[in-house]
Amino acid sequence: MTDTIKRRGLMLVLSSPSGAGKTTLSRLLLEADPNIVMSVSATTRAKRPNEVDGKDYFFVTAEKFAAMASGDEFFEHATVFGNNYGTPKKPVMDALAEGRDVLFDIDWQGAQQLKEKARDDMVGIFILPPSHDELERRLHTRAQDSEEVVRQRMAKAADEIRHYPEYDYVIVNRDIDVAHAEVKAVLNAERARLSRQIGLSDFVSTLVGKD
């Protein structure tokens, strides 16, 4: 008998304040699971020498970006320091249809916009640091950081953290390996969700049907 169950991929959104370990978690997930791909944003900012078009970003002109925006080709887009950034829909929808999961490393505003456009496909995880002291320690990125700079970073982190109730799951990153295992558990569980298994009714028909 042929196994008729296919799986629709899911959009896994990781958000956290900077200093909570989100970047490390994303890297671990991508390394450990070839079925996960990272969402690549489009941007109008200039490509830096070490960046690869289509891997780090899709580098596009302002005209192209505006055309994509007016054509509703983005899940979400924003302007930061005069440059435009957006998440193109098509590569994500193609990956989901092929059963691949797409990882998004975005802030609460991006997550909110994504949720509006793709509620059924999206799973949101918020990563929290283990303590105030540890967060502050991680926000001291350089020895010469002034108290004022750290205070500003802390205020920005606090703004992000206040949005944790908008996520499906919350993981406190006390230990990176434990947090990684928890994110993988969420991914594996969400893959087993009824709604993501396409062809389940056909498979069940083969189970209960006559010989």
**Residue ranges binding a copy of itself (CB under 8 A):** 1, 3, 5, 125, 128-129, 131-133, 135, 157-158, 161-162, 164-165, 167-172, 181-182, 184-186, 188-190, 192-194, 197, 200, 203-204, 206-209, 211
Nearest to 115 by CA among 10, 9, 6, 7: 10
Q: Which is nearer to a copy of itself, 72 or 211 (CB)?
A: 211
Q: How far is the CB of 3 from a copy of itself (least distance, A)?
A: 8
The tally of CA atoms less than 13 A away on the side-chain side of residue 74 is: 21
* Residue in 65, 58, 62 with CA at minimum distance from that of residue 41: 58
Per the DSSP assignment, residues forming a β-bridge with 125 are 14, 169
CB of 48 to a copy of itself, least distance (A): 33
Q: Within the chain, what is the greatest distance between any pair of CA atoms?
A: 75
Q: For a copy of itself, give the closer residue by CB, 106 or 171.
A: 171
Cβ-based nearer residue to a copy of itself, 118 or 135 = 135
What single letter denotes the amino acid at residue 208?
Answer: V
Q: Looking at beta carbons only, is 74 or 108 nearer to a copy of itself?
A: 108
For a copy of itself, the closer CB: 37 or 186 = 186
Phi first, then psi: give them for residue 113, nearest 5 degrees: -65, -40
Sign of CA dihedral 114, 31, 129, 157: negative
What is the distance of C-alpha 100 from the center of its chain?
A: 13
Shortest Å, Cβ 25 to a copy of itself: 13
Q: Among residues 109 and 195, whose Cβ is nearest to a copy of itself?
A: 195
Give least dist CB 102 to a copy of itself, A.
18
Length of the chain, in residues: 211
Q: C-beta of 211: minimal distance to a copy of itself in Å?
A: 7
Angle, vertex CA 28, rays to CA 100 and CA 161, nearest 5: 95
Contacts of 197 (CB under 8 A, 6+ apart): 5, 6, 7, 8
Closest approach of a copy of itself to the CB of residue 126, in Å: 8
